[in-house]
Amino acid sequence: QVQLVESGGGLVQAGGSLRLSCAASGRTVSSYNIGWFRQAPGKEREFVAANSRIGGSTYYADSVKGRFTFSRDNAKNTVYLQMNSLKPEDTAVYYCAATRTLVVATSTAGYDFWGQGTQVTVSS
């Protein structure tokens, strides 16, 4: 099975950018659909973005569409989430997740493997 480790979080001012990384080990990340989720204090974990291992389609939550970009680097066995024009409401712990199902899921129940998360804090 695959192990996932997120990095790249931090403190940034509103309007700034961060790039999150999700490094995979144990299996090649190209074999998995990958999702990004986030969880703010006191809230449910919510969908951010997901990418299909078949065809490469990417899906985004409406709240991040046009600001966040998903990418893969199969040579590094790593996926990324480029986050631009950050807003205070983007503050959360961000998680990457993986699944080998055929259908790209936008719910947490659709993923089998999870990283430990990385904190993103956007100040106003």
Provide the 8-state DSSP code for 75: G
For the stretch 25-44, pLDDT in tens is: 999 999 999 999 999 999 99
pLDDT attached to residue 102: 86
Distances (CA, A) of 87 to 42, 93, 110, 113, 123: 18, 14, 27, 28, 8
CB atoms within 10 A of CB 100: 13
pLDDT attached to residue 124: 94
Q: Which helix (H) or strand (E) holds 50?
A: strand 46-51
CB atoms within 10 A of CB 116: 11
CA 5 – CA 79 distance, rounded (Å): 10
